[in-house]
Amino acid sequence: MAQHGTSEVLDPSREAAEAQGSTAPGPEVTRAPTVEPDGGATLLDWAAGMRRTCPVWRDAAGHVHVFRHEDVQRILADPATFSSDTVGRLSGGERQAPRGTLLLLDPPLHGKMRRLVSRAFTPGLISGLEPWITDVTGELLDAVGTDRFDLVDALANPLPVTVIARMLGVPTGDRGRFQGWADQLLSTDPEDPESVRRMEETAVTISAYLQDFIDERRASPRDDLLGTLVTAELDDERLTDEDIASFATLLLLAGHITTSVLLGNALMCLDRDPDLFARVREDRSLVPAVIEETLRLRPPFTRIERVTTRQTAVGDSPIAPDTLVHLWLLSANRDDQVFEDASDFRPHRSNARQAAFGHGIHYCIGAPLARLEGRIALNALLDRFTRIHVDPDARLTYHGTNVFGARHLPLCVERA
């Protein structure tokens, strides 16, 4: 197995620190490290040090960062104190998130909206997609004509985008558009005004695209997710076009990147352990455990945010009202107080407490779909190819935001 192409990705903290001859940045840094440019090496080493020495840290902007698993889970389970409405609260109420933006809603509105959209995410409906997702995966891999290809371009990006397009009821042939929009939104730097402006323009473009389909559903309802949202009532009111477009945009973005990054991360983890890779190939019952351990060790998103509604405290650290709190899922999932040898990839461990999909009322509604897509795709790759390696000559690049994964993953394969 090729290793130098992925060593900085899978267990980067010790290798990077040794190479640089220095320790990770501590509480004195003004901003948290990012995944780019070293695949998370500095970030992981920094987070490990923060768990030990400064589990609740206030950065130069006054934001609070939380690193330990226990603290992260407790905050996620307390929406009354730690609100998801970062838009409304941090703007002093001048702006409000659309009702379709589930991630930014608090009870009781959140519960009502989630019950509406959950109609498209029941276990039966998700499992019913398996034969079709399997066929789409096969078609995408049929189009791979060489023994060297980019996993992200060939499969990891188009698969979830195609699935989401079908669920929404928009043309799957437009997936190239969706991918471009997702790339733009994911590259947004919230501290760069020009980047934020481009993000807002992209959001307007997506809404304009979706409006035609929303209008069609209002004129003639159909049995798809957009049709469900158009006919749904909330407190005796229909959802607005903005509500519907915002949820569809969220689904296109979050649903796409979760599966895309999950699949790439799973292959990077297996690439580093040839013996485990061989066992998984022979015993496919191990695939779900590989998916879960990948989610724990390399969650798609490094952190999520909350804002305090009142004076509170995390541990011994007081926090004022209307303070932005960053919850480091990546750090919580590597907490040695919860997971033994937490930096090791061990698919047989119990991962019931891993936080990749959040916790509490905002637990990811699309988690079963992401797991299904990941399982189908990984099995399909193992069926098609007797050997799969991350290209040892490729220099990987990574998402610059809080997405924990490679932008592209060049593979070298041998066909079955």
Helix (H) or strand (E) holding 203: helix 193-219
DSSP percent split of the chain into helix, strand, coil, nearest 5: 50, 10, 35
Please write down the long-range contacts of 225-228, taking CB distance under 8 Å and 24 or more positions apart. 225/117, 225/120, 225/167, 225/168, 225/169, 225/251, 226/168, 226/169, 226/170, 227/169, 228/116, 228/117, 228/119, 228/120
Task: Tell if the pTM clears 0.95, that is, is over it.
Answer: no
Q: Are 68 and 332 in contact (CB under 8 A)?
A: yes
Domain spans in the chain, listed from the N-terminal domain onward: 55-415
Q: What is the pLDDT of residue 274?
A: 93
How many angstroms separate the Cα of 251 from the Cα of each of 279, 340, 378, 383? Answer: 34, 34, 22, 29
Residue 125, judged by CB atoms within 10 A of its CB (0-12, 13-18, 19+), counts as middle
Q: How much is the pLDDT for 191?
A: 67
CA 238 – CA 371 distance, rounded (Å): 32
Give me the pLDDT at residue 195, please.
Answer: 78
* Per-residue model confidence (pLDDT) at position 138: 97
Question: Which of 292, 295, 394, 386 is CA-nearest to residue 347?
Answer: 292
**Which class is domain 55-415?**
mainly alpha
Among the listed residues 111, 162, 100, 127, the one whose alpha carbon sits nearest the alpha carbon of residue 368:
127
Note whether 67 and 55 are within 8 A (CB): yes
List the one residue out of 302, 276, 274 whose CA is nearest residue 289.
276
pLDDT in tens, 301-321: 999 999 999 999 999 999 999
Residues of the chain with pLDDT under 50: 1-24
Q: What pLDDT, in 10s, does the model give residues 192-219? A: 778 778 888 888 898 899 999 999 999 9
For 338-387, write each residue's pLDDT tens digit.
Answer: 999 999 999 988 877 899 999 999 999 889 999 999 999 999 999 999 99
